[in-house]
C-alpha cells in the first residue's frame, strides 16, 4: 500500500465517520421532536377530557350549570407512568360574556361560563398549553 492509497483510506474514514455523526445527531434531534409532540398531544387530550367531562355531566344532569364555577376551580395532578410524565392541570371557571371574556363583576343569572384548562409539565412541554371552552346555559342543563 503506497502513500496515496493510505491518504485515500484516511479520507474515506473521515468522510464516513462524519456522515455517521451527522445521521446520529439528526436522529437524536428527531427523537426530541417526537417526544415534544407526544407531550403536546397528551396535554391536549388531558385538557379536552376535562372539558368533555363537564359537557357530559351537564348533559346527563349530574351537574347543574350554576355548579360549574364552584366545582371546577381546582388543580389536578395527573401522573402518566407509561409515558413517564406528570402533568398539572389548573382548571379555572369564570362568568363570561357571549364572546368568552371574563366579567369584571359577577352577575346573577349569567348564562355564560368560560372554563379554561392550563396544562403544564416539568419536562416535555416547552410552554404550558391552555384550552378554553364557553358553556351556555340552556333548558337542557338547568
Residue 8 lies in a domain: yes
Q: Are 85 and 39 in contact (CB under 8 A)?
A: yes
Q: How far, rounded to the nearest angstrom, does the alpha carbon of residue 99 sit from its chain's CA centroid?
A: 23
94-108 pLDDT, tens per residue? Answer: 999 888 888 888 888
φ, ψ at 67 (rounded to 5°): -90, -5
Range of the domain at 49: 3-136
Q: What is the pLDDT of residue 1?
A: 67
Give me the phi and psi of 2, to 5 degrees please. Answer: -90, 180
Instruction: Please tell me the predicted confidence (pLDDT) of residue 140.
Output: 62
Q: Which residues of the chain are under the pLDDT cut of 50?
A: none
On whether residue 142 sits in a domain, the answer given is: no
- 141 belongs to a structural domain: no
For the chain, how many structural domains are there in total? 1
pTM: 0.76
Neighbour-count burial of 43, counting CB atoms closer than 10 A to its CB (0-12 exposed, 13-18 middle, 19+ buried): buried
Amino acid at each position: 500500500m503506497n502513500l496515496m492509497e493510505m491518504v485515500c483510506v484516511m479520507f474515506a474514514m473521515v468522510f464516513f465517520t462524519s456522515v455517521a455523526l451527522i445521521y446520529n445527531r439528526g436522529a437524536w434531534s428527531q427523537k426530541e421532536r417526537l417526544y415534544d409532540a407526544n407531550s403536546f398531544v397528551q396535554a391536549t387530550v388531558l385538557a379536552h377530557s376535562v372539558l368533555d367531562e363537564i359537557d357530559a355531566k351537564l348533559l346527563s344532569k349530574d351537574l347543574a350549570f350554576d355548579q360549574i364555577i364552584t366545582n371546577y376551580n381546582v388543580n389536578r395532578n395527573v401522573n402518566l407512568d407509561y409515558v413517564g410524565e406528570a402533568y398539572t392541570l389548573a382548571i379555572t371557571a369564570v362568568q363570561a360574556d357571549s364572546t368568552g371574556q371574563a366579567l369584571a363583576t359577577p352577575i346573577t343569572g349569567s348564562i355564560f361560563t368560560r372554563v379554561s384548562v392550563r396544562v403544564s409539565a416539568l419536562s416535555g412541554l416547552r410552554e404550558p398549553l391552555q384550552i378554553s371552552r364557553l358553556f351556555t346555559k340552556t333548558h337542557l342543563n338547568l
